[in-house]
Structure formats: structure tokens, C-alpha cells
Amino acid sequence: MSNEGIFDKVKDFLQGHPEQADQGLDKAGGLINDRTGGTYSDQIAKGDEMVRQQLGVPGAQAETTQPAPGGPLPGGDPETASDTEQGDRP
């Protein structure tokens, strides 16, 4: 089996199991960060984001871009938003 076939199988598995993929990527990033003493944390974060995009695995950033029910919309400052901007959402 070629390397392409192996990577395709891994990608298919990870896309079918996004929670496990998310946990695995978090653990891998944390382990590398611990082993390097946080020296390369920015590079690790960028690499993590790139892997998640390539594999289609949602990550922490994807979760934080979605507004919470009843919360302010992304990009708005909750302290300066008027009542009409936030509104009462069902």
C-alpha cells in the first residue's frame, strides 16, 4: 500500500470520528508543547489549525466563532452593544 493510500484511510477515519480526532490533535499539540517547554507554541498552534483544516476536523476556534444562544453576535462588543443589537432571542 502506498503512503497516499494510508493517508487517505487516516483522513477518512478522522473525518468519520471528529471528536476523537479533536482530542488526539489536542493531546499531540499539548505533548509537543510540553516537550519543547512552550518555545514553539505559536508554530504548534498554526500547525494544529492547518491539520484541522486539511482534515476537516472542527477545533476550538470553530467552536468559538459560533455565537452562544442569547449571546452577542461575533465581532460585537457586549459592553457597548445596544439593546436592539443584542435583542431577546428565543
Q: Going residue by residue through the chain, which has 90 residues, state the pLDDT in tens, using 9 for 90 and above.
A: 677 788 888 888 877 888 888 898 999 999 999 999 999 999 999 999 998 888 888 775 444 344 445 555 555 555 554 555 455 555
Cα distance between the two ends of the chain: 53
Amino acid identity at 46: K
At 63 the pLDDT is: 42
Q: Is this prediction's pTM over 0.75?
A: no
Residue 47 confidence (pLDDT): 93
